[in-house]
């Protein structure tokens, strides 16, 4: 079995067999084996620090479900990341500007999109920036109108709300999303992932169509012998809801992904300048 590591830096897991039964069995497995460990370390986590180490702390049944969903999310996206065949080019021809491929998923009956690129920033630091500074996203990323954490679940899991700006020249109207987020490290690669969930504190808003994200998110992969660079990948698996022709979806989503990469590069330069000052 592979070694799984979840961390938080200078960042932030469980399967479901009943409330306390699940906790005891998980803790027992972690004590007996180091082949399936998820760890967290760092200083930029949620203000509410959840404890893995004590079954005495109260965790609600709903939080257990969220944590289980996060476990499944990690596994699904990791399997997607290992899929090498079947991807078809949508747009792009070099890692500097970004390359977008798609693959049709028969189970969910829609395309999943993958952005591949290389950026000039250490993988772990960029992962931390995306995982821990969610609410600053709209400050530098015009494809995002708003993003905020609704509830912290554990050190590496939360519920977040995002409003995506209109795309494809207004053909795709703005959407909002309620996501479960899970972040961590697996096999030396850093993941910041999302999937759709429901949350009573954020009902449907009249102003927006509520989209639904399937399992997807960002991966930050260190490049050997180039520690200040990393491969950046984005797996986008979303149901925009409403009636939209596939061509509009393709144009809208590939455009959003490539625009995001452009804004991310600008943000990286800003982060570098902050480090120097």
Is residue 34's pLDDT more than 80? no
Dist CA 180 CA 61 (whole Å): 16
Per-position DSSP letters for 190-203, written without gaps between them: EEEEEEE---TTS-
Kindly state whether residues 236 and 268 are assigned to the same domain. Answer: yes
Total structural domains within the chain: 2
Kindly state whether residues 104 and 192 are assigned to the same domain. Answer: yes
Neighbours of 255 (CB within 10 A): 17
Tens digits of per-residue pLDDT, 197-251? 999 999 999 999 999 999 999 999 999 999 899 999 999 999 998 888 888 888 8
Tens digits of per-residue pLDDT, 65-108? 999 999 999 999 999 999 999 999 999 999 989 999 999 988 88
What is the band of 5 on the pLDDT scale with cuts at 50, 70, 90? very low
- Does 131 fall in a domain? yes
pLDDT given for residue 32 in this prediction: 40
- Does 69 fall in a domain? no
Kindly state whether residues 31 and 100 are assigned to the same domain. Answer: no
Name the percent of the chain lying above pLDDT 70: 79
Per-position DSSP letters for 97-140, written without gaps between them: T-EEEEEEETTTTEEEEEEEEEESS-HHHHHHHHHH-GGGHHHH
Residue ending a domain, choose from 13, 29, 64: 64
- Does 18 fall in a domain? yes
Strand ranges (E), the chain: 4-5, 88-91, 99-105, 110-119, 144-154, 157-164, 175-186, 189-196, 209-210, 212-213, 216-223, 226-236, 238-239
Q: Which of 241, 234, 230 is nearest to 256 (CA)?
A: 234
∠ CA 232-258-186, rounded to 5°: 20
Kindly state whether residues 113 and 163 are assigned to the same domain. Answer: yes
- Does 75 fall in a domain? no
Name the percent of the chain lying above pLDDT 90: 64
Taking the CA atoms of 9, 22, 148 and 98 in sequence, report the sign of the dihedral they define.
positive
pTM score above 0.85: no
Range(s) of the domain holding residue 266: 80-276
End-to-end CA distance of the chain: 44
């Amino acid at each position: 079995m592979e070694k799984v590591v979840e961390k938080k830096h200078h960042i932030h897991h469980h399967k479901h067999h009943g409330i306390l039964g699940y906790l005891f069995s998980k803790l027992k497995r972690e004590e007996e084996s180091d082949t399936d460990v998820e760890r967290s370390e760092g200083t930029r986590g949620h203000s509410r620090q959840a404890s893995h180490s004590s079954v005495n702390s109260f965790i609600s049944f709903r939080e257990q479900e969220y944590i289980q969903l996060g476990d499944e999310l990690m596994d699904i996206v990791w399997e997607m990341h290992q899929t090498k065949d079947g991807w078809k080019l949508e747009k792009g021809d070099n890692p500097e500007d970004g390359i977008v491929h798609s693959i049709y998923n028969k189970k969910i009956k829609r395309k999943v999109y993958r952005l591949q690129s290389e950026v000039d920033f250490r993988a772990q630091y960029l992962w931390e920036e995306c995982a821990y500074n969610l609410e600053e996203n709209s400050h530098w990323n015009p494809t995002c109108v708003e993003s905020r954490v609704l509830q912290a679940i554990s050190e590496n899991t939360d519920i977040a709300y995002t409003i995506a700006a209109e795309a494809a020249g207004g053909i795709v109207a703005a959407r909002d999303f309620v996501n479960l987020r899970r972040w961590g490290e697996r096999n030396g690669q850093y993941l910041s992932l999302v999937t759709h969930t429901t949350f009573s504190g954020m009902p449907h808003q009249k102003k927006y169509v509520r989209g639904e994200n399937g399992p997807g998110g960002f991966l930050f992969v260190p490049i050997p012998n180039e520690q200040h660079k990393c491969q950046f990948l984005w797996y986008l698996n979303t149901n925009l809801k409403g009636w939209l022709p596939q061509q509009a979806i393709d144009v809208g989503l590939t455009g959003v992904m490539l625009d995001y990469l452009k804004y991310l590069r600008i943000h990286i330069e800003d982060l570098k300048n902050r480090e120097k000052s």
